[in-house]
Structures are given as structure tokens and as C-alpha cells.
Structure 1
Amino acid sequence: MVVQAASRSPLNQFSRFETADVDEAREIVARHFCSHRLERMSSSDRFDARQNRVDGCRVSLNYIRYGADVTIEPGELSEFFLIQIPIAGSARIENGCQSVFSTPKMGAILNPDRHTSMRWHAGCEQMLLQIEQSYMQEIATRMAGRSVGKVRFRPDFNLEKSEGEGWTQALRGVFRAAEEGNSFRTLDQRQQYLEEGLVMSLLNSQPNTISPLLERGDSGAAPAILKRALSLMHERLDEDISLLEICGHAGTTPRNLQIIFKKELGCSPIQYLQRARMKFARHLLLSDNGNHSIAEIADRSGHRHFGRFSVAYKKQFGETPRETKQGRTFG
């Protein structure tokens, strides 16, 4: 069986190799990603491997095909996230305990701290975005406004939903800009902003362990009083804090703060604080690796009464804290 690759692949002028030799393909791809096992699953189809790649400051753009039906097993990626967007064919991706059947309608996100194995079927061609794990953590921390645990994404990335479709269109635009020489040439501040925007939009588009921390009311146009109040709340989600302390930090009276919160966010300051603490608790449950009990997580998110915490958590999220922790939604 002979599989014809696309006549012109993405990043065509940035070819790193093109080979019919499995060992050569494995060796060169490993230089750019990590050591892995690469094996052909059939001798009847044509092994026709190619990688195109261009490096940025903290991310890289890639195009890869193997032509033939192959298995790839890198284990844990450790140092980077890898977002895979098929442009032809299909692949079966295992990342941790989750499996994704990847097609041009369904991408995959490989979390670096989860064991990965893949089977790329004959004719599979993919665009890949490689993001340094440390950079993802840095951007996530800045977006959340506080330190966060390990970032972990839901591996199945639906490219037909509006968020996934919009992000993929943006990624294709970045590929085109690189091909046209408008990006990934000079690693300057403009390039840094491009990469930062791409990573930020991914964190906003695909469910991940810090998603609960990003679901804040928009205070962009709010008065300075509201901004100061929100800043203190999010800095002290794990601490006991009174309405008077919030007012003192914000420089206003309780009545005025109540009016501002109702007008701008549709709730009282204490209601907002309770919801923010619940979202922080959900983040901790999703990102915990079995190191903390649910009671400890409740306390770390500012909840001092475990029974009331469990009831309120289920009311807000539709599942118990234990179900969130055991479900391991993100692999």
C-alpha cells in the first residue's frame, strides 16, 4: 500500500529531514523532542517520514508525517507539552489513563507528566506545537495571579467546538506567518508576545487544572476600589478574612463595596469570595497527585467546615469533591 503525502507540507522551507529509514527518523525526531520507541506496524505500506520545524523563544512549530502505520512510545515527555493537530489521517493517542482517537476534527494534548504512547495510522500528517513545560507553568501562574500546581490539560481537544476551532485557526495563522517570514525569524519582544498570546489562549480554550482559577468576573473596567478588593481576596483565598479587612484594603466602606460588587459582578463581596474559594478548591483537587486528603484541600482553600464544604461544592459543580479527585479528569 503506497500512501501519498500532501504535495506541499506546512513549513516546507524548514525541512529537518525526509527519509525512508526508520532508525534515521527516530534519531532525528528524538533530537528535537525526546528519546522514544518507533516501530512500523506493517511492511506493506510505505515509510516516508518527514519533519519540518522552526524554533521560537519557548515554543516550536512542527509538521511530521511517517507515511506508514507506526507506533511511537516516548513515555513521559517531562520537559514539554505537545499539542497535536491532525491535518490528514488519524492516530490513537494514550496520555496517562485517557485515550484519544485523533482526526482533523479531534486534536490531542500530551501532558508531560503522563506516560504517552501513540499509533499513527498510515497517511497521518500532523501540525505540532511544542511548549516548554516551565513556560506553561510561568504563564499559568501569571494568569491565575498566584502560584499553581502542575498544569495538566484534558487530552482530547475538540476542534469542532468554537474554542478549539478558534484556537486552531490562530495556530494555522502562526504557521502561515512563519512560512511568510513574518514570525519565528527574530526572537525579539514581538515574537515573545506572539508565543505568550498563543499559550494564554490555549489555557483559556481547553479545560485544564487551572481553569477554575481563570473563571473570574471581569474587572477590567471596574473602579480601583474593586480591583484592590479582588486582589486581596485572591491573594488570601486560603486564609480567614473579614469584610472589614477587605474594605480597609480597598479603601471604602462595607456599604459602598456591596454596591460596587453588585453593580460590576452581580453578587456580594462574600458571595464572590466563596465562589472563588470553591474554584480554588476544584483546582487543588484536579491538580493533586494523591498527596493531600480532601479535608486538607478544603482547609487550604479557606474552608474550615468539611461537611459544609462538601455540600456547597456539589451544589456549585454538580459532583462531590471525592468524585472530582477520583475522576482524574485530565489524565
Structure 2
Amino acid sequence: MPEAAIVTTGPASPGAVHFDSIRVREARDVLNRFYHPVSLGTPECAEAMVGAEVIQLGPLTVGHLTFAGRVTLVAPAVDAYHLTLPTAGRVLARRNGREVTAGPATAVAFRPGDPVYLRPQTPSAEIDVRIERWALESELAALLGHPVEGPIDLPVAFDLTGGPAHSWSRLIRLLHDELEHETSLIYQPQIAEHLCSSVLSGLLLSVPHRYHDELVTPAAAGPPRAIRRVLDTINAEPDRPFTVADLAREARMSVRSLQEGFRRHVGCTPMAYLQEVRLTRAHETLRHADPATVTVAAVAHRWGFAHLGRFASAYRARFGASPSETLRRRA
């Protein structure tokens, strides 16, 4: 693909591209790079143009594709989970002999091993999501606290107009909306990891599959000894970029059991407790720091806060003063 057709965006430039309008051959090269080996066909003598914004966040790929002209996307078998969310127009999808015509109210899903057939109407636009198989199945195993047998039986299509699936689609659209902003937090590895986990767990909680009933059934609370182990881990290293799955592994229990154990024995979620410890450590650091050599930003980043505005807001709510006011009192 000609280099001039790609404009990389943000610090994660190897995993993000943007192009406004290119021909089918070049578009196929980009889709092969970010999604799956696909053939991109057009009727004989027809012209078609494709535009896209794509970002990779570890095992998660989110792209917004636009089509002008008749195009058909075919893959003999995908090696990951693939979801298509039309944002304008409609798309005809086929999975294992079943055809679905989807619009902005419907998402279409393909599982590892499924052949993919997508024929967008023109003009049309869609958000395409690729999730690596190991990532989604590991996320499900962590939530349940036991191994799972994949692939997960995602439905061919599911409704996006209400309930958890509607909320999940808004999260996907948020990622798309952030693509054009070079300073977006989605390019920060710590934030990207949390967003990726939220997308994966949100999908698993939003659509029917054979593990869904078990997933939404209230979990037994974790024993106090395991909860204490997590509390000790957080207090020992609150600056580490913990995820709730990391803490569940420390407790040797499922994410749901950890959350229920914290609710019952601590009175808050694991991540809320982690933030409280970080705020306290940041407060102590600012109280004893020299404002001539230390900045609020440096203290925030030291204790795991990637977004200064949110740090300042949480700090003021907790201590009744801004971080800079606390630092100046040392002068």
C-alpha cells in the first residue's frame, strides 16, 4: 500500500491508521494487516472507494470503515472474534448459511473458524471489532474463576437498542470517537489496558452464550483471608498498574467473587480501594515535597494517575483542597 495513503495517529502509531478514501486494492492490504486475510471484491467495471480509521489496543482492534460503491468482504475462516456494528446504511452478513441484514440497531458476530461474508450497502459505514480468541476466552475464564472451552458461542446477531448491549455499543463508539485525538488517553498503555478489559467483559455480559447465566448469577463472597491478601498487595505496591483481573489472580478467585468479597468485607470495589490508597499516598507525598523541585503531575504519575484532571477532582473531593494547594503549603 502506498505510504501516502496512511496517516498514523498518536503515540501508538504502529497500531493506528487513518485514510479518507482509497481504492479497493489498497484497502484490502490494510484490512489484511489489521483484521483477517480477506478478499475485497467489486462488480466488474465498478468503482469503489473505502475509508477507515483503525486502532489496535493489544488484543483489541477497533476500526470505522466507510464504503462508497459496491463492495463484498469475504474471509474463508477468521482466527479471532469479529463483530460488525453498522453506523450508517445497512450490511448483509452471512454466517454458516444464515443471512442477516443489519442496520445501526443490530450487531453481527463471527466466531473463530467461521467464514465471513459482508456486503455493505452503499453508501454505508460500520465499526468493525476484532478480538483475539485467547483474550476473550481468558477474560471469561477470569470472570468465572475456571477454565472455559471455546470458541464462545456468540449469536449471529444481537440487538443494540437497549440493555447491556446498548451500553457496550456506546463504549465501542467512544473508542471510535477518540481515534482522531492525538492526545487521547486511549493511547496511554495503562488506560488502554483497562478499556480493552471493559470491552471484553462488557461483551460477555451483554450477549447470550452458554456461560452467560453462570456469569450473571451472583457469586459467593471471597473469604476474608483472600481479601486481606489483596489489601496487603495494594498497600504494598499501589503504584503498580493493577487491573481487577490481576487482583483476582492474587486472591486466587474469580473477578466476581473478589468484587463480592470487597463489597461485603471492605465496603467498596477493589478498584475504588486502590484509588483511595493512591490518593492517600499522593497526599502524603505532596505534603512533604519541595514545590521548587516537584510538580503535581510528577506526583500523580508516580502514584498511578494518568489523567491529571480526574486526579485533581478526586483529590479535592477527598481532601477538600487541590493538589497544587497542598504542594504550596509546603513552601
TM-score per shorter chain, which class? 0.5 to 0.7
Does the 8 Å contact 1:139/1:199 carry over to 2? yes
SS in 1 for 2:58: coil
SS in 2 for 1:60: strand
Compute the displacement of 1:77 (Å).
0.8
Distance 2:148 2:58 in 1: 23
Aligned residue number for residue 279 of structure 2 = none
Distance 1:87 1:158 in 2: 14
Compute the displacement of 1:43 (Å).
4.7
Aligned residue number for residue 60 of structure 1 = 61
Aligned residue number for residue 89 of structure 1 = 89
* Aligned: 1:155 with 2:156: yes
* Aligned: 1:110 with 2:110: yes
Does the 8 Å contact 2:165/2:206 carry over to 1? yes
Compute the displacement of 1:17 (Å).
3.5
Distance 2:30 2:174 in 1: 27
Give unpaired runs (5+ residues) of structure 2.
1-8, 228-263, 265-331
Structure 1 residues 97 and 144: CA distance shift in structure 2, 3 A: farther
SS in 2 for 1:66: strand
Structure 1 residues 161 and 99: CA distance shift in structure 2, 3 A: farther
Give the AA of the match of 2:137. Answer: Q
For residues 202-236 of structure 1, the C-alpha deviation after alignment (integer angstroms, 9 at most, x for no partner) is 1000112321331322445x8769x9xxxxxxxxx
Does the 8 Å contact 1:76/1:113 carry over to 2? yes
Give the AA of the match of 2:53. Answer: N
For residues 139-188 of structure 1, the C-alpha deviation after alignment (integer angstroms, 9 at most, x for no partner) is 01111211111112012021113222111112222333444433331223
Does the 8 Å contact 1:16/1:53 carry over to 2? yes
Aligned residue number for residue 75 of structure 1 = 76
Count of matched residue pairs: 213
Does the 8 Å contact 1:57/1:187 carry over to 2? no
Aligned pairs for 1:1-331 (under 5 A) are 15-41=17-43, 43=45, 46-78=47-79, 80-150=80-150, 151-180=152-181, 181-188=183-190, 190-220=191-221
Alignment identity in percent?
A: 15
Give the AA of the match of 2:39. Answer: R
Distance 1:211 1:107 in 2: 18
SS in 1 for 2:218: coil
TM-score by length of 1: 0.58
Give the AA of the match of 1:77. Answer: V
Structure 1 residues 128 and 183: CA distance shift in structure 2, 3 A: farther
SS in 2 for 1:85: strand
SS in 2 for 1:173: helix
RMSD of Structure 2 on Structure 1 (CA): 2.8
Give the AA of the match of 2:75. Answer: P
Does the 8 Å contact 2:36/2:78 carry over to 1? yes
Higher relative contact order (CA 8 A, sep 6+): 1
Distance 1:57 1:101 in 2: 30
Does the 8 Å contact 1:42/1:68 carry over to 2? no
Does the 8 Å contact 1:106/1:159 carry over to 2? yes
Compute the displacement of 1:26 (Å).
1.5
Aligned residue number for residue 328 of structure 2 = none
Distance 1:102 1:204 in 2: 21
Distance 1:152 1:20 in 2: 35
Distance 2:83 2:185 in 1: 19
Compute the displacement of 1:114 (Å).
1.4
Aligned residue number for residue 4 of structure 1 = none
TM-score by length of 2: 0.58
SS in 2 for 1:26: helix
Does the 8 Å contact 1:94/1:117 carry over to 2? yes
Distance 2:141 2:27 in 1: 36
SS in 2 for 1:50: strand
SS in 2 for 1:184: helix
For residues 50-75 of structure 1, the C-alpha deviation after alignment (integer angstroms, 9 at most, x for no partner) is 12111212212211122112111112
Distance 1:162 1:216 in 2: 17
